[in-house]
Amino acid sequence: GPGERGGSAVVDMAGPELQLGVGWAGFENSIESISKLPQDLFAEVCQQIMLYLQCRTPGVNTLELAERLQNAGVELDVETTKEIVHVISLIFSRAAAQSSMSAEELVTKLAGSSSKWSKQALQAIRHVWNEQGKLVVTAEDAKHMLTVGQLVDLQWKLGMAMSSDGCRSLNYLYVTMVLKVANPSGEIIRRSFEMTIPQFQNFSKQFRELAAVLEMV
């Protein structure tokens, strides 16, 4: 239901009615935050979410989105940005479960769910839904989708420890791996870890073996 967290924004589309804000205290706060956004920036947020729900992007990078909003003068932190993305994803995905729902019907239901919706926000939602709502993946389609994370980017860099921390000696070479992964809810998360040179060499060897296997498929 709307109060559940941690589920997939794509998979969590079941339900015969678009019931929003029921039993979810954070819903009203998210709407207030949305109302602080200029209409063009909120439309951009909706567009990014729509691309994800259409399976055209692996997820929504909430960290980059928060930085984009802050650079535009909007004082919203990463957690608040995540809440906004969660709310709009839920709205679009629940609406997609009702294939006949028009943009006007969606906006009317939203306006009835809370008095805190701004006219500009509802106009942005109406426009985005009217243009692309029919392309959102439905619950039936989502049943066939994997619910595992998707690798977005992988980077590595070679480093050298210049001071001892008790775990490794001076001038100790190591490799830092940086992964960007889109989790099933669409959020893009960043993870980094260090590997010793032998570990990295073994890691690289396994990838070469995998590549050799794929060439024979």
Per-residue pLDDT tens over the stretch 144-173? 444 556 777 888 888 876 655 555 556 678
- For 86, the 3-state DSSP assignment is helix
- For 60, how many CA atoms within 13 A lie in the half-sphere containing its CB? 31
**What confidence score (pLDDT) does residue 122 get?**
94
pLDDT surpasses 80 at 45: yes
The mean per-residue pLDDT over the stretch 189-207 comes to 84
Closest CA to 153 of 58, 48, 56: 58
CA 116 to the chain's CA centroid: 24
pLDDT surpasses 70 at 84: yes
- Residue 33 contacts residue 169 (beta carbons within 8 Å): no
The mean per-residue pLDDT over the stretch 48-74 comes to 86
Burial class (CB in 10 A: 0-12, 13-18, 19+), 132: middle
pLDDT confidence bin for 209, thresholds 50/70/90: confident
List all residues 6 or more positions away from 137 whose beta carbon is below 8 Å from its beta carbon.
Answer: 10, 53, 54, 55, 96, 145
Query: Is 187 or 149 the better-scoring residue by pLDDT?
Result: 187
* pTM summary value: 0.57
pLDDT surpasses 90 at 9: no
**What confidence score (pLDDT) does residue 113 get?**
85
Question: Rounded CA gap, 90 and 48, in Å?
Answer: 14
pLDDT surpasses 70 at 41: yes
Which helix (H) or strand (E) segment is 74 a member of? none
The mean per-residue pLDDT over the stretch 74-84 comes to 89
pLDDT surpasses 80 at 177: yes
**What confidence score (pLDDT) does residue 127 get?**
93
- Residue 154 contacts residue 178 (beta carbons within 8 Å): yes
Q: What is the pLDDT of residues 102-158, one digit of tens each?
A: 889 999 989 988 889 999 999 999 999 988 888 876 544 544 444 556 777 888 888
**What confidence score (pLDDT) does residue 123 get?**
94
